[in-house]
Amino acid sequence: MKLFSSVNDVADINALAAEALKLKADPYAFQHLGKNKTLALVFLNPSLRTRMSTQKAALNLGMNVMVLNIDKEGWALELQDNVVMNGTTVEHIREAAGVMGQYADIIGLRSFPGLKNREEDYSEMIFNKFVKFCGKPVVSLESATRHPLQSLADLVTIEELKSRPRPKVVLTWAPHVKPLPQAVPNSFAEWMCKANVDFTIAHPAGYELSEEFTQGATITHNQQEALADADFVYVKNWSAYEPYGKMPAVTEDWLLKNDSLKDTNNAKVMHCLPVRRNLELSDEILDGPHSAVVHEAGNRVWAAQAVLKQMLEAM
């Protein structure tokens, strides 16, 4: 594997999830693979889980790791081509990515969308330029439209905790106070559409995701109906795809509580984190037996390790 940016970069998602669970059982079995190899993790946006879990995964494989919060610690980056750089930007992404490619064997990049210009965000302009100019294998640490390391960890969690061969998985929209990217739900949807699950998406009218990511899913505006017989409930806020980055008014109560789960198959509740308590998810769920959110975050290590292992093996 030379690029991990979406489910389309993975030959067999079930094999990759199984590999992650094998690494969970024996984390240090492949330390020789990463000897004298360097992973650079480059962040244009904040992170707790992605940063620490990917770092841990690389260390488990014997790699050296460098982390750069380029938005705070690097030179101000110019992302557009053919501009006179007489403003606030100091270094062009062409040189910055090229130089980082000289120092690292694998690079991870996080670049969130601006949520202003849909065409620019959905073209993955920043991520794709970085891939092009660094010249090294690249792992997405969450791009404008996808968060594949999260989605792989989510699949691993479902495989690990499922109580029947083809579980019902429901992605449900949750409230928020500000517009959030569609990257996590887009990515979760495209992975679930390829996984061996019965997959439903529930959201209020106006919050339709791009059809590019939801082919094969059942889509409804009725949360309670969607939750019936669910084994896993994945909670996430996202802003509208059309009108892009906006928050159409929602009058119904979409905040999940214990009572919302009464018709589920004793569902496990998942969330990528960070989560705003009692806005996106209630205390009673997060602190109760249904919550799988911390377990899910723990699986981020094994997902990242499975991806890095495949990249090291391909060198």
Please say which residue, 65 or 78, places its beta carbon nearer to ligand CP.
65
Q: Under the criterion CB under 6 A, does residue 55 sit at the interface with ligand CP? A: no
Cα first-last separation, the chain: 9
Rule CB under 6 A: choose which of 37, 49, 168, 236 binds ligand CP.
Answer: 49
The minimum distance between CB 272 and ligand CP, in angstroms, equals: 4
The answer to whether 127 and 140 are in contact (CB under 8 A) is yes
Please give the backbone phi and psi of residue 85, each rounded to the nearest 5 degrees, phi first.
-85, 65
- Assess 48 for contact with ligand CP (CB under 6 A): yes
User: Minimum Å distance from CB 163 to ligand CP?
Assistant: 25
Query: To 5 degrees, how large is the angle CA 121–CA 4–CA 61?
Result: 135
Nearer to ligand CP, 142 or 280 (CB): 142
How many Cβ atoms from other residues are within 10 Å of residue 36's Cβ?
Answer: 8
148 is annotated as contributing to ligand binding: yes
Residues 6+ apart with CB under 8 A from 175: 237, 250, 254, 255, 279, 280
State the binding string over 132-161 for ligand CP (x if CB under 6 A, else -): ----------x-------x-----------
Give the CA distances from residue 119 to residues 47, 125, 131, 183, 283, in Å, rounded to whole numbers and listed in that order.
25, 9, 19, 14, 37
- Indicate whether 50 belongs to the interface with ligand CP (CB under 6 A): yes
* 215 C-beta neighbours (distance < 10 Å), count: 10
67 binds ligand CP (CB under 6 A): no
From 24-32, 33-41, 44-52, 220-228, span contacting ligand CP (CB under 6 A): 44-52
Number of residues near ligand CP (by CB under 6 A): 9
For the segment 246-275, give every residue that binds ligand CP (CB under 6 A).
Answer: 272-274
Nearest distance in Å: CB 279, ligand CP: 17
Residue 47 interacts with ligand CP (CB under 6 A)? yes
Does the annotation place 49 within a ligand binding site? yes
Output the smallest distance, CB 204 to ligand CP, in A.
23
β-pair partners for 269: 233, 291
AA identity, residue 206:
G
| 182 is a site residue for ligand CP (CB under 6 A) | no
Binding residues for N(2)-succinyl-L-ornithine: 142, 176, 236, 276
Residues that bind ligand CP (CB under 6 A): 47-50, 142, 150, 272-274
